Structure 1
């Protein structure tokens, strides 16, 4: 197992994993499979080469089996904040500790960014496993969003979580 920052050369593998995530966990992401399958490899290359955005991947041998994206806010008044998005581990590799290692890699990177103080994420309110992982890493719930997502006629609630990196909590 190896964790690397993804680059445009990883776009095809990233696209396959992203589509897998949207197909197998549709209520965990705001984007839909139908929307994303229309995106070209060129678009995925651009996503992996965006300023203030870092995507890390877990590789087992040469297969990309997990991903996470850290996006720093670009507006001056929000520049002290970042978001974790697109976190996914293929089901065959869940429970192996890869998710924790992947989040820790993103947090280590975040701690090296000058002036970054807060990291936010959203999680499905029913995803107890993910919430337990996030809480164990220091994230705390600050909001509950009822009916945050609507998929195939059913609403799904989300919890908004934050991790403060500085001592001025």
Structure 2
């Protein structure tokens, strides 16, 4: 397995795995499949070229198996913070250490940036495997948001977590 930052030429592979994630696990993401199917690959290409967004991909034999994005805050009063978003590992490749490797790379990048003192993420409240993964790095729940997402007539709660360096 190879973990690396995604580049503009990875946009097709990223779009494919992103749409799969949104379709198979809509409760895990604020964005929706319906919204992102309208995005061109240029939207993803541009994301991989911004200076405060870092998307890591896990590859095996050139196949993209998982992704995670670290977003560094840019406002003066928030520059000490970053957020982890869009974490996903293909279902058939879970429990193989890919998620752990992705989070480790994102956190290492946050530390390398120098200014980041704390990292935030949100997780669907019943997603125990993801919560255990995040807790293994030292993330702690600081709030629970009831009915954070609504899909059709079903609501999903989210837990907000933070890791202080």
Instruction: Give the TM-score, by structure 2 length.
Output: 0.99
Aligned residue number for residue 96 of structure 2: 96
Superimposed CA distance per residue, residues 19-75 of structure 1 (whole angstroms, 9 cap, x where no aligned partner): 011011110000000100010011110111122100000001011010000000010
Superposition map of 1:1-169 within 5 A: 1-165=1-165
How many matched pairs?
A: 165
How big is the shift at 1:120?
0.0
| In structure 1, C-alpha distance between the alignment counterparts of 2:23 and 2:60, rounded to whole Å | 21
How big is the shift at 1:161?
0.1
How big is the shift at 1:152?
1.5
| In structure 1, C-alpha distance between the alignment counterparts of 2:36 and 2:7, rounded to whole Å | 19
Measured on the aligned residues, the alpha-carbon RMSD in Å equals: 0.6
Instruction: After the TM superposition, list the runs of 4 or more consecutive aligned residues in structure 1 that deviate by more than 2 angstroms.
Output: none
How big is the shift at 1:115?
1.5
